Amino acid sequence: MDFALTDDQQALKQLCHDFAAKEIAPHAGEWWEQEVFPSHVFTAMGELGLMGLLVPEEYGGTDVGAVAYVAAMEEIGAADQSVAAAWNAHITIASLPLLAFGTEEQKQRWLRPLAEGRRLGAFGLTEPEAGSDAAGIRTRAVRDGNEWVINGNKMFISNAGTDISLGVTILAITGQNEDCSKRYGSIFIPDGTAGYRKGEHLKKVGWHSLDTRELVFDDCRVPADHLIGEEGHGLRQFLDVLGTGRISVAALSLSLASAALAMALEYATQRQQFGRPISQFQAIQHKLADMATEVEAARWLVYRAAWLYDAGLPYAKEAAMAKLYASEVANRVVSEAVQVHGGYGFMREYPIARFYCDAKILEIGEGTNEIQRSVIARALGC
């Protein structure tokens, strides 16, 4: 088994490392405190070819594959989780529905500007009354002549309210089958469409500079050709895309865990108590050893899920396992990293405090960890 990155993958990782060190890490604390979404960072990432990593070149992307994307995420996420969270949503759940199910015309019209990094993408599944239970959504799209008329609300949607947002792909109920079960469709709503309104930026525990809002659709009309994929298949399509999204959130979690470990290690070698660096105390050494071991285990679960994706092999169970484990490791490791920092770890001027606040959502977003456990149990035959 070869765990080494190829030269191209290594070069991409280095590019992301250099970009993050110069353009993200020095400013991330300020953006977080001021709850500012740094649009210019995404425009710059687009110019470097980083906004369409899973999209073929014919639609403006670079199509480097999931393993390379995970390697890149390790660098971007270690600099700032809010930027990395917006990037994660853009690369996977916002772009992949258009790639997998869009027509040629839709790909050129909407996927290309996303992949080239000229605009930012969003994906709207969650509603005030439906999160884990995706089939329980209430937003309706009714066909009226050559248009869809949409009414309903989406909750906690990332990336839809920035000055570079292109629009949002939503899941809506589009009708009813003979057995009374609901039919679903995915519909792209461009920014600026009449009847599409965005709520205020939501104040969060972490990911402060990620744009997160409620979206309201009030007799919002879009042309019939804004349907993505087949009418009636929308729920299946969204669940497929969420499978890939899990590899991405797992990578985001890995990036947080390894950044927290690095910060704890550095602090432990510098902080002196009782006349010596605290890294010389066995209690601290054992914490660091446990943290490093868990990060390493998470790393290979995440890369394995990405490798399966790239190889075109089934990856749903492994993606759920990677997301579940890496997000829990991220929370354990960052908590121990704060402990290693003592009281300073509780001060917001220390980046470790920001990472601590950013960690919890990793166990909730893109399928809670309870749902991941159910996905894994189903795959085991339960």
Ligand X SMILES: Cc1cc2nc3c(=O)[nH]c(=O)nc-3n(C[C@H](O)[C@H](O)[C@H](O)COP(=O)(O)OP(=O)(O)OC[C@H]3O[C@@H](n4cnc5c(N)ncnc54)[C@H](O)[C@@H]3O)c2cc1C
Q: Which is nearer to ligand X, 91 or 125 (CB)?
A: 125
Q: Binders of ligand X among 166-205, rule CB under 6 A?
A: 204
Q: Does 123 bind ligand X (CB under 6 A)?
A: yes
| Residue count, binding to ligand X (CB under 6 A) | 22
Q: Which residue is nearest to ligand X (CB)?
A: 131
Q: Which is nearer to ligand X, 49 or 234 (CB)?
A: 234
Could you tell me which stretch among 53-61, 118-126, 293-301, 341-349 binds ligand X (CB under 6 A)? 118-126
Question: Is 329 in contact with 335 (CB distance < 8 Å)?
Answer: no
| C-alpha–C-alpha distance, residues 113 and 184, integer Å | 26
| C-alpha–C-alpha distance, residues 77 and 355, integer Å | 10
DSSP string, 64-78: --HHHHHHHHHHHHH
Q: Catalytic residue among 23, 74, 214, 366, which?
A: 366
Q: Does 253 bind ligand X (CB under 6 A)?
A: no
Q: Which is nearer to ligand X, 96 or 278 (CB)?
A: 96
Q: Binders of ligand X among 132-151, rule CB under 6 A?
A: 132
Q: Binders of ligand X among 80-99, rule CB under 6 A?
A: 89
366 a catalytic residue: yes
- Which of 207, 303, 307, 315 touches ligand X (CB under 6 A)? 207
Tell me the closest approach of the beta carbon of residue 225 to ligand X, in angstroms. 23
Nearest to 165 by CA among 205, 201, 204: 201
Spell out the SS3 assignment of 150-213: EEEEEEEEECCCCCCEEEEEEEEEEEECCCCCEEEEEEEEECCCCCEEECCCCCCCCCCCCCEE
Q: How many CB atoms lie within 10 A of CB 25?
A: 17
Q: Binders of ligand X among 348-367, rule CB under 6 A?
A: 361, 364-367
Q: Which is nearer to ligand X, 184 or 303 (CB)?
A: 184
Using CA atoms in the order 95, 96, 101, 102, what is the torsion angle rounded to 10 degrees? 20
Catalytic residue annotation: 366
